Amino acid sequence: MRVLVLHGSARKGGDTDTLAERFLAGMAEEGRHEVRHFYAIDMNIAHCRGAACMGCGGDGGSAGCVVQDDMQAVYPALREADVVVLATPMFWGYMTSQLKTLLDRLEAAVSPAYFGGKDFVLLIGYRHYYGSMVEWLNRITRAFGSRCHSMACQTYDPETDRDIPIAESPKCLEEAFALGRQIAASCSS
């Protein structure tokens, strides 16, 4: 099984990377998988030019994106993936700007060939709100006949006004592991 992990955090090894590691460890319990990681913070990705450009033809990927940058490695990885993991903290109620830029560039690949028949997994670390991201991914997966799985871990305690490192949240780590194992088992059966 091919797994694509898109990391949205600017902090490598931080909370959402740790969730992704636990998710992948759960998948590994069910067998070996080919995993590709992309860290949006380390990539040279231009913004989508949208209607001003439409070099992609706006038809779901037959022409591809005309902007030549690090996204050219993401497109085939997305097309080949059986499982797509988005691991991101939430800033101001939404994914990080780095991951948003990467996902905006997928406009050139919006088609069943890239988004159909896959398991999309959303691993979120948040302080106050995360629903917008879950709603967004639910709409996309429904439209393409894919499956959406999401888990959100609050990394802030409003009562004590304290950030909570994910390592202090064993329930979240166990949930990520169990989700990875569940998806690997369902995909292999």
Mean pLDDT of 33-44: 97
pLDDT tens digit sequence for 59-109: 655 667 889 999 999 999 999 999 999 999 998 888 999 999 999 999 889
| Cα–Cα distance for residue pair 139/2, rounded to 1 Å | 23
Mean of the per-residue pLDDT values of the chain: 92
pTM over 0.85: yes
Mean pLDDT of 11-20: 96
Instruction: Tell me if 6 sits within 8 A of 133, measured CB to CB.
Output: no
Domain annotation for the chain: domains and CATH numbers = 2-46+54-188 (3.40.50.360)
The encoded tokens of residue 133 equal 């991201």
Instruction: Tell me if 156 sits within 8 A of 162, measured CB to CB.
Output: yes
Q: Exposed, middle or buried, 50 (CB in 10 Å: 0-12/13-18/19+)?
A: exposed
| Cα–Cα distance for residue pair 108/131, rounded to 1 Å | 26
Task: Look at residue 119 and give its three-state secondary structure.
Answer: strand
